[in-house]
Structure formats: structure tokens, C-alpha cells
Amino acid sequence: MSEQHHRPDIQHWINLTPDQVLEQLTQLLYSPVSLLGSQLKRLTDDDDPISEDEYEAIFATMHNAVNQLSKTVVQLKRYSEEQKRA
């Protein structure tokens, strides 16, 4: 993945304004969503045949992007729950 973002813990998010949290989320979500889109396009592009090794690399990359998204969603859920308690 070309761009790695530091994933803030929810304690950090709690100290931010809602606009700052949205900015953090945008940064955290942009890279894996963009990557998934580009890799999916590679898989469905008929003009460029893909080897079996390339398929494996694409699926591994997509798996990592989904894992990043999952972690971000868990953090967002925890942040939301913490905000409800505050």
C-alpha cells in the first residue's frame, strides 16, 4: 500500500472536535477505498490479462485494505459508544 496512515486510538478522537474526527476518518478511509477500487478495476479489466501470481497479489492487497477498513469501523463504533456515555 503506497500510503500508510497512523490510526489514532479513540482516546485521541475524544479530544478532537467533530469536524476534526471527520477529517481523520476521511484520511483513514480514503486510501483503502481507493485501493479497493483500483484493484477491482484491474480484476475486471478485459484489456490486461492477469497471471495467477498477480491474482494472488491483488487479493492479498484487497484483503489488507478490507482489514484496514474493518479496524477503522471498530474504532468509529467505539468512539460513538464513548460519545454516547459522555
Summarised one tens digit per residue, pLDDT across range 7-46 is 556 778 888 888 999 999 999 999 999 999 999 999 988 7
pTM value is 0.79
Domain range summary for the chain, segments of one domain joined by +: 10-85
Residue 72 grid cell: 477503522
Per-residue confidence (pLDDT) for residue 11, from 0 to 100: 75
Q: What is the DSSP letter of 73?
A: H
The size of the chain, in residues, is 86
Q: Which residues contact 13 (CB under 8 A, 6 or more apart)?
A: 21, 24, 75, 79
Summarised one tens digit per residue, pLDDT across range 36-69 is 999 999 998 878 788 999 999 999 999 999 999 9
- Residue 68 one-letter amino acid: Q
